[in-house]
Amino acid sequence: MKSVFERIKNGLKKTREKFHQFLKSDNIEELEAALLGADVGVKASSYLIEKIKGKSDKAEILRQEITNLLKTEVAIKEFEKPEVIMIVGVNGSGKTTTIGKIAYQLKNLGEKVLIAASDTYRDAAAPQLKIWAERANVEIVASEKSQDAAAVTYDAIKKAYAKGLDVVLVDTAGRLHTRKDLMEEAKKIKRTITKLKPDAPDEIWLVLDATVGQNGIAQAKIFHQELGITGIIVTKLDGTAKGGVIIPIACELNLPIKYLGIGEGIEDLEVFSAEAFAQALLQD
Ligand SMILES: Nc1nc2c(ncn2[C@@H]2O[C@H](COP(=O)(O)OP(=O)(O)OP(=O)(O)O)[C@@H](O)[C@H]2O)c(=O)[nH]1
Ligand SMILES: [Mg+2]
């Protein structure tokens, strides 16, 4: 069994290569090119370059600075059970897979979890989620007699109250941030949740695909404006050298990063920690 740290390091393999490529060089242009190549973005790259100019212990300075950039203040919220967590994002970003992985983690921590299959848009969505619910060994509520997404969500939360469950994970259909109609559907799901539990959804997490790089930031801003995002999950870090995008995501959105997806398997999800991420990125 690999340690969590080794797993993040492994998941960040391609991004790590970008960082380590030029770390030993004294050439600032090369280092800047590497940071931009890892999708750290112009603003954060310039900031980091200023910090390491003329310094010998670049890796250690970068580690500290990146840790600081990634830290966001998170207010601890009091909430009543069931905690309702709505998951949103563009098509194919990894929402359904991530819900399977979160359900599995929470279940292993002893939580009673229910998944709401509130993606009623795509026919294959509920069967895909049922497989994840089976793997994670948690309950699922899916559409009966072609209910709409809000109706499924309603039934799921009712059930969670009736059975005294701890967490409801609400899967939603992928939507382009530019599609008004679909954004309205997401708002309707949100309103349905609020009807059953005032102040809920307790969390609305946006799933961003790291391979999209900087474009994810523009997506996130619109989702945040429309729905009020409370946290970010970054997926597919294993397949990309653009993992540095986490830095501008955290800085520009000022939202906490919750989890990192580092593979397609049920265990390939890590709870985000700024320290662990920066260390995994820069340690030899
Ligand atoms: N390598 C890798 N693949 C991932 C990760 N997370 C999800 N995927 C893959 O991304 C693809 C899409 O994942 P889904 O979970 O279906 O994405 P979705 O956001 O639910 O998609 P829609 O419901 O169609 O919007 C699948 O092939 C997943 O296996 C990850 O962290 N790493
Ligand atoms: Mg899905």
Test site for ligand 1: of 13, 182, 264, 269, most ligand atoms within 8 A of the Cβ = 264
Domain match, 159 and 200 both: yes
Domain match, 104 and 232 both: yes
Nearest atom in ligand 1 to 89's CA = 19
pLDDT tens readout for residues 105-120: 999 999 999 999 999 9
Domain match, 169 and 259 both: yes
How far apart are alpha carbons 178 and 159 in whole angstroms?
33
Instruction: State what percent of residues in the chain have pLDDT above 70.
Output: 99
**φ/ψ (deg, to 5) at 149:** -60, -40
Residue 180 lies in a domain: yes
Mark which of 23, 49, 70 sits at the end of a domain.
Answer: 70
Instruction: State what percent of residues in the chain have pLDDT above 90.
Output: 77
How far apart are alpha carbons 280 and 7 in whole angstroms?
9
What is the residue range of 24's domain?
Answer: 4-70
Residue 179 lies in a domain: yes
Predicted pLDDT at 75: 72
Residue 77 lies in a domain: no
Any idea what the CATH number is for the domain that residue 46 is in?
1.20.120
- Rounded to the nearest angstrom, the distance between the alpha carbon of 132 and the centre of ligand 1 is 12
Predicted pLDDT at 1: 60
Predicted pLDDT at 129: 97
Which amino acid makes up residue 153? T
Domain match, 49 and 190 both: no
Predicted pLDDT at 23: 80
- Does ligand 1 come within 6 angstroms of the Cβ of 94? yes
CA of 101, nearest ligand number: 1
The total of structural domains in the chain comes to 2
Predicted pLDDT at 96: 98
pLDDT tens readout for residues 169-219: 999 999 887 788 889 999 999 999 999 999 999 999 999 999 999 999 999
Mark which of 21, 44, 70 sits at the end of a domain.
Answer: 70
* CB atoms closer than 10 angstroms to residue 254: 10
Single pTM value for the model: 0.96
Domain match, 195 and 266 both: yes
- Does ligand 1 come within 6 angstroms of the Cβ of 119? yes
Q: How confident is the model at residue 235 (pLDDT cuts 50, 70, 90)?
A: very high
Task: Walk across the sheet containing 113-118 and list its strands.
Answer: 139-141, 113-118, 167-172, 83-88, 203-209, 231-235, 257-261, 269-271
Q: Give me the chain's average pLDDT, please.
A: 93
Mark which of 12, 39, 70 sits at the end of a domain.
Answer: 70
pLDDT tens readout for residues 38-68: 999 999 999 999 999 888 888 999 999 999 9
Q: How confident is the model at residue 258 (pLDDT cuts 50, 70, 90)?
A: very high
